[in-house]
Amino acid sequence: MTYKQFRLSTSILMSLLILSGCTDNDPETEPEDTVEEMPQEETQDNDEADIDDGENNETEEEGNHSEEDEEVKSDEPAITIDMEEDLLDPDSIKVLVNKQYALPEDYAPDDLVTVEVPTVLENPEIRQLREVASEALTDMFAAAEEDGIILYARSGYRSYQTQVELFNNYVSNHGEEAANRYSARPGESEHQTGLAMDVTSESVNYQLTEAFGETAEGQWVEENAHDFGYIIRYLEGEEEVTGYQYEPWHLRYLGEELAADVAESGLTYEEYLLERGIDIEIDE
Ligand SMILES: [Zn+2]
């Protein structure tokens, strides 16, 4: 439960809106008053019924426990992570993207869809996610709503070229050093994967701000996002590991299994990989 320790911190260090790597000041986007609510009436099909169609010929459940090595079997790690096939492949949902591991300039996902949840901004590009991440987002927002929590999606997919514009804007407004802390360089933004979505709520005026982490919505996300395959990517107090400030709004899709494992560890994705013995580079 170390993950929950992050909830306890109440730093109000940044009273300003943090214009982070996820920032939303895309030139062609519109201000907050353009909240657009999309209908959310589709039925959620959450019944992942385990269809037992009899294909499973093994009858282990029925008392076939004579061999002791069964225990060993259940201890095997279920999730495999391969450097080449997972972390370095831009199309993998496990891809690692940060200041050490940049995406190619010409990479764009080929399965982007427009998200089916309420969004804050109308820019068509950033309302997209890869299909698998979009479906998970729909499920997550619906589950949140059942708990009385209303979430909004703000900024999802961002092309390499959009990130070029964002970063350059940030540099000219705040200088390069600040830009490096709050904004991703082109190729180094998870938003280019189509697997990251910034979420927000009415309670923080639909902004991306650290205060979101203290809201009911932010708390709900922290406690539940992993059930839908998302992790909070930039944890509080982990700036040196992730290279970014705490961003309670930036969710990264990793798939349900891996997200649950990472969330349970209470670690950043980078630390989690290191702890699993995967030799990734970390900024020093
Ligand atoms: Zn973001």
Closest residue by Cα to residue 231 from 268, 199, 200: 268
User: Tokens 């059930």 belong to which residue?
Assistant: 227
Please give the Cα distance from 156 to 216 (Å, whole number): 22
- Annotated catalytic residue, options 188, 217, 247, 270: 247
Highest mean pLDDT among 74-88, 118-132, 172-186: 118-132
Residue 46 lies in a domain: no
Range of the domain at 187: 77-275
Residue 190 lies in a domain: yes
Please give the Cα distance from 165 to 186 (Å, whole number): 9
Residue 143 lies in a domain: yes
- How many angstroms does the Cα of residue 80 sit away from the middle of ligand 1? 26
Residue 89 lies in a domain: yes
Residue 175 lies in a domain: yes
> Per-residue pLDDT tens for 232-245?
999 999 888 888 88
Please give the Cα distance from 278 to 270 (Å, whole number): 9
- How many angstroms does the Cα of residue 233 sit away from the middle of ligand 1? 9
Residue 105 sits in a domain of what CATH number? 3.30.1380.10
User: Tokens 């203290």 belong to which residue?
Assistant: 214
Active site residue 247: yes
Please give the Cα distance from 66 to 85 (Å, whole number): 37
Residue 178 lies in a domain: yes
3-state secondary structure of 231: strand
Domain count, the chain: 1
> Per-residue pLDDT tens for 57-113?
343 444 444 444 444 455 556 799 999 999 999 999 999 999 999 999 999 999 999
Residue 250 lies in a domain: yes
Please give the Cα distance from 90 to 81 (Å, whole number): 14
- How many angstroms does the Cα of residue 134 sit away from the middle of ligand 1? 15
- How many angstroms does the Cα of residue 191 sit away from the middle of ligand 1? 6
